[in-house]
Every structure is written in C-alpha cells, then in structure tokens.
Amino acid sequence: MRLCETLSLGDRRFLAVVLVEQQKYLVGGAPNSVALLAKLPSQAQMASRDDEVHLL
C-alpha cells in the first residue's frame, strides 16, 4: 500500500489517492471517518477510453 497524493480540505478533512497492488483508489477522510469514494481507472483503461467514440 502506498499513499500517492493527498489534498487537504480544511477542518481536518482530506482526499487521498492510495495505490494497492497496482490499483488506485480515491479515499476521503474526516475526523471521525474514512471512506472509499472511487476506484480509479488504470492507465490501460484510460488509454482504451481514448479510443472510444461517444455519441450524444
């Protein structure tokens, strides 16, 4: 497990990107809690999204 980035939101709240076994997660924290907010896409998933065509 590795802490990649953090962002302080004030009042002892934060956002963090954590790497676990080559998968990144967005985590939010406050004085009395920590929550998983999102599983972030991998580099391979981001590259494949660039190839997709989105129609509105």
User: Which parts of 1-56 are beta strand (E)?
Assistant: 2-10, 13-20, 23-30, 33-39
Report yes or no: 34 and 47 within 8 Å, Cβ to Cβ: no
In this prediction, residues 15-39 reach a mean pLDDT of 97
Domains of the chain, by residue range, sit at 2-51
**Torsion angle (degrees, nearest 10) of CA 18, 21, 24, 30:** -30
In this prediction, residues 33-38 reach a mean pLDDT of 98
Percentage above 70 pLDDT, the chain: 75
State residue 6 phi and psi, 5-degree precision.
-135, 155
Would you say residue 30 has pLDDT above 80?
A: yes
CA distance 41 to 36: 14
In this prediction, residues 22-44 reach a mean pLDDT of 93
**Model confidence at 42, in pLDDT bands (50, 70, 90)?**
confident
